[in-house]
Structure 1
Amino acid sequence: MSKTLFRKFLQRSVSRGRLGVVYADGSANTFGEPATGFPEIVLRLTDDRVPRDIVLDPRLGAAEAYMDGRLVIEEGDIMGLVTLLRANNAWDKGGDLGKPRLSRRLLGRVAGAAEKVNNAVRSKDNVAHHYDIGNDFYALMLDDEYWQYSCAYWPTDDLTLAEAQRAKLAHIAAKLMLRPGDTVLDIGCGWGGMAIYLAQNYDVKVTGITLSEEQHRLARQRVEKAVVGDKVSIELVDYRAFAAAGRKFDRIVSVGMFEHVGQPQFEEFFRCCANLLNDDGTMLVHTIGRMGSPGSTDAFTRKYIFPGGYIPALSETVAASEKSRLIATDVETLRLHYGKTLRCWYANCIANRERIVALYDERFYRMWLFYLAGAATVFEFGGMCNYQIQFARNRHALPITRGYMAEEEERLLER
């Protein structure tokens, strides 16, 4: 029965491109037709449980089968497989729209129930699960200049990963409209790349905060190595506790952190930020987002990658900020930039396979490739994007036209 359902699932899922499947009993099926731009993949399933596991939960079932070596890719690779499946059912494929099925709405609510708590203790554990796996690993995957573990920015296609990450930092810095003597808070500062960049290019004081002990340790070392220790401090603290101390800043920047806040804490996050800002202060939030309505995190990501994480829709993000009278002064949607970034990280992991396996094991390596492939393709064909949202507390805090952003970005990139 599970094999029959599995065949029907793939018949519905693959029409363009070719997917060959060899089952544990030696039988085989082929799905789809050759099509320009669509991969051709051949899989071998080593036991009879794989079809059942995938039918029950396609993403988690396929991931665990691949991680355990029960789903073997004989021709192609995991990026090609996920690309084939996602490209056949693109989120923005057009056509007429119907009402979502009741069963799908109910399933989304049940799946999201586990995401409803993200207090300070649980938040620190969730951050450690992902970011404290080891700085040696991230050194193999990220750019070697600013260690940016977030979407790069590609004004042209011919940039290296490091150049695109530097372009992202300039893009964000231009939106902050920094002034000499400004104080800046970097919430979720990672390995200190943004703080270092701002200190190198502006006469400002930057405070970075993180919940990751590994990031905190290395970020402080990187600050000293960059000789900006007089302008940058890195603290190991939750943003809620930091806000309670009553400090004020002229600017706040948060890149790739809002995804970890958790939907029930959105209003608290923006309230803390509003209280941390001076009355004429501004803030830039860079976050992964949903292009559609609010949803839930899939089981694979919740279990293995970002426990407690939640990708927000633009609607719920802005709605939460409105409660703190933060004015959304500018919103930009980055549609394809993260797909390009993730493919660079994927290529780096492929190039460093032996070193990653030596650090962890083959199962971890396959898990990470599956995560990167899924993430890249959800930005290319699925419903994910990146939002950069600029906020101000006062309507007079920023120029009333956007020209200053492009001028400052150009100045920074020419340096």
Structure 2
Amino acid sequence: MASSLHNLLSKIIKKGSLTVRGSGGEQHYGGGGGRTVAIRFTDEAAERELVDDPQLKLGELYMDGRLRVEEGDIYEFLALVKDNTLSEGLSFGMIWRSLIRIAVSQFRNRVPINHNRRNVAHHYDLSEKLFSLFLDEDWQYSCAYFNPPGISLDEAQIAKKRHIVAKLLAEPGQRALEIGSGWGGMAMYLAESSGVDVTGITLSTEQLKISRERAAKRGLAGSVRFDLQDYYYLPPRKYDRIVSVGMFEHVGRLNYRRFFNKVNDVLADDGVMVLHSIGQPYPAIINNPWIEKYIFPGGYIPSVAEVLPAIEKAGLLVSDIEILPMHYAHTLRHWRERFMANKEKAIALYDERFVRMWEFYLAGSEMAFTHEAFFIFQMQIVKKRTAVPDNRDYIYEREAELKAFEQQRIPLDRIAV
């Protein structure tokens, strides 16, 4: 084994048990009492590359099959590392690469270039068959709401839609806008449950096609429409309700003022918006380089402290904030288990390297919620304080009504074409 890797692991792994098999045979690290994981390197160069640039190379080595998990899985390995302190053992290579990434990040922040369409296509214009392998029956590609605990993924995704729509206080005859409409599930639920006219906008051509097909199948073409549209170029039209779920992570921190200024432009004076987004406990200096390169180019997870000033400067008010700490960890675990259960189908769609990349992405994302204090925040945003009640009882009362609606709603797969 490369001496640099041996020295690094000796400093890091104190709790749990890690077995590493590589060029120099088998080495053991940790004092036990935690997770037990075994990994293998296929070549000595991989060991050196990992030490020089772990943030990028760990994922790349796993994708390429040069780092293999032989006991446990990739989530358990990532979690084992995070269970231990990382305050020691930084190599020169780690330090200088981090400094370069900070400099590049600062440069990009000062020279904002709108690549929204390209960035969205990188992730969301993959084959629809891929997402069908692990999402729920409504194709909700955002955090579910496991209330009560222990419910299925499908039940939790319905609970998420129910919870958000209850906060919107939607009423028949209103006009609603969904910014980042995905595969159309939220827009259709909102229209059918509350009698509102919904416009959903997306930058994904694949999602647009499927959304329109699904709305037509439900007979909602007259009340739900989907457009290929960047939020910044929305025409001047007022909406009574605005919802955005899992899209704000792609806005970019330099564009928060732009985003909320546009919300202010199109939200009616007595309107209500619900913003659902991943959050992190403090502003990040740089994005994870592997996620940036392979999964979400141009994305950024905000802290609440970064979002609130932009809302205030746009002349908007926050009427409610709810933090959901672990619901996305549960969601990602369901997705990863479903994806790996359909591993052979995913390989047939793409290849083994892609499947390892996707597994690493899902495992690393789950670890961010279990070990790095990431969370979901839901912000209710208004122009007038009187637009919403001064207590939260209405949310639970409306959820009860929506549950009754759900009992009578016909599932999409039972609707005859």
TM-score by length of 2: 0.91
Residue range with higher mean Cα deviation, 370-379 or 383-392: 383-392
1:358–1:296 Cα change, 3 Å: same
**Of 73, 83, 86, which aligns to 1:87?**
83
Counterpart of 1:254 in structure 2 is 244
Answer yes or no: is the 8 Å Cα contact 2:272–2:380 preserved in 1.
Answer: yes
Please point out which of 128, 131, 134 is paired with 2:124: 131
- Match of residue 233 from structure 1: 225
Work out whether residues 196 and 223 of structure 1, in 8 Å CA contact, stay in contact via their aligned partners in 2.
Answer: yes
Q: Which residue of 1 aligns with 2:216?
A: 224
Q: Distance in 2 between matches of 1:411 and 1:88?
A: 47
Quote the Cα distance in structure 2 between the aligned partners of 1:314 and 1:377. Answer: 20
Amino acid at match of 2:84: N
Residue deviations 1:211-231 (CA, integer Å, cap 9, x gap): 000000001011112222221
1:214 aligns with 2:213: no
Question: Partner of 1:295: helix, strand, or coil?
Answer: coil
Cα 1:21–1:114 change in 2 (3 A) is: farther
- Equivalence for 1:31: 29
* Distance change >3 Å, CA 331–CA 238, structure 1 → 2: same
Q: Percent identity?
A: 42
Residue identity in the other structure for 1:140: L
Match of residue 154 from structure 1: 146
Number of residues of Structure 1 aligned to a counterpart in Structure 2: 397
Structure 1, unpaired ranges of 5+: 92-101
Provide the rounded CA distance (Å) in 2 between the counterparts of 1:105 and 1:394: 44
- Which amino acid counterpart does residue 69 of structure 1 have in structure 2? G
Q: Paired residue for 2:347?
A: 357
User: Cα 1:55–1:90, aligned 2, differ >3 Å: closer, same or farther?
Assistant: closer
Equivalent residue, structure 2, for 1:197: 189
For residue 92 of structure 2, what is the aligned residue in structure 1? none
Query: Is the 1:115–1:262 contact (alpha carbons within 8 Å) kept by the matching residues of 2?
Result: no
Cα distance, 1:77 vs structure 2: 1.3
Give yes or no for the alignment of 1:76 onto 2:72: yes
Q: Equivalent residues in 2 for 1:367-382 (5 A)?
A: 367-382=357-372
User: What's the CA shift for 1:59?
Assistant: 2.8
Residue 182 of structure 1 deviates from its aligned partner by 1.1
Q: CA deviation at 1:356?
A: 0.3
- Per the alignment, in what secondary structure is the counterpart of residue 396 of structure 1? helix
Aligned equivalent of 2:58: 62
Deviation at 1:114, TM superposition (A): 6.0
Q: What is the CA distance between 1:106 and its match in structure 2?
A: 5.5
Q: Can you give the 5+ residue segments of structure 2 that lack an aligned partner in the other structure?
A: 88-94, 406-417
Query: Following the alignment from structure 1 to structure 2, what is the Cα–Cα distance between the partners of residues 114 and 405?
Result: 43
Deviates more, 1:102-111 or 1:177-186: 102-111
Pairwise CA distance, 1:361:
0.4
Judged with a 3 Å threshold, the aligned counterparts in structure 2 of structure 1 residues 115 and 284 are, in CA distance, closer, same or farther, namely farther
Regions of 4+ moved over 6 Å: 102-105
- In the alignment, is residue 168 of structure 1 matched against residue 146 of structure 2? no
Q: Post-superposition shift, 1:4?
A: 2.7
1:327 aligned residue: 317
- Work out whether residues 15 and 32 of structure 1, in 8 Å CA contact, stay in contact via their aligned partners in 2: yes
SS at match of 1:215: helix
CA displacement 1:379-404 (0-9 Å, x = unmatched): 01113111111100112111111111
Deviation at 1:209, TM superposition (A): 0.2
